[in-house]
Amino acid sequence: MGRDDWMMGLRWLVLVALLAAGLAEAREVGGVKMPDTLELEGKRLALAHMALKEKLFFDIYVWGLYMEQIPRLEAEAVAANSVKRLHFRFLRKIRRDQLVGAFRKGLSANAALSAEPMQQQMEKLLQSLKDVSKGDNLVLTYVPDAGLEVSGEASGGILIPGKGFADALFTAWLQKNPVFEH
């Protein structure tokens, strides 16, 4: 085997290793890939959970929960005063009124959201929502000392200050979609 053959073999080995590393760094659910980790606000977040939401026979969205530390219980996930993110990737077109209705219904079961200040913050979140196209994202990120950042194509982008509303939203979501031991 000559030097050129050896170098070509080494290049292929490096390419295969890079491809394998790239594949190992993402999870896929419902045809959607999300990275196992991401850098955000100078912190490394790990994908704690990823799931497909279906309704009747339709795939609606894939969601992922990112946390700095993967907790053992949902209460730990909510209480953590660290960067955390709920990321939704939509798999179909959804009208704004459908999205707002689904959020309103999903969040209405949380008693913490019934207080007037929380209701105002929830309305601010709902007003930011837009019509969704297939492949659009809705990203809800809690950043300590800032609050809940709402971004992605499914929102006009807003910041809801403080931890209280973010805690209530994460509580409602994790109670309805449990991912940790009870």
Distance, C-alpha 75 to centroid of its chain: 18
Work out the pLDDT band at 19, boundaries 50, 70, 90: very low
The stretch 127-134 carries a mean pLDDT of: 97
The stretch 31-53 carries a mean pLDDT of: 94
Chain-wide mean pLDDT for the chain? 86
Predicted pLDDT at 21:
45
Predicted pLDDT at 56:
85
Position 89, amino acid: R
Structure tokens at 147: 């609050």
DSSP 8-state assignment for residue 127? H
Which own/partner contact pairs does 73-79 have at CB distance under 8 Å and 24+ positions apart? 73/180, 73/181, 73/182, 74/171, 74/174, 74/175, 74/178, 74/179, 74/180, 74/182, 76/180, 77/48, 77/170, 77/174, 77/180, 78/167, 78/170, 78/171, 78/174, 79/167
Residue-wise pLDDT tens digits, 143-153: 999 999 999 99
Q: Mind listing the domains of the chain with CATH numbers? A: 3-176 (3.50.70.10)
Work out the pLDDT band at 181, boundaries 50, 70, 90: low
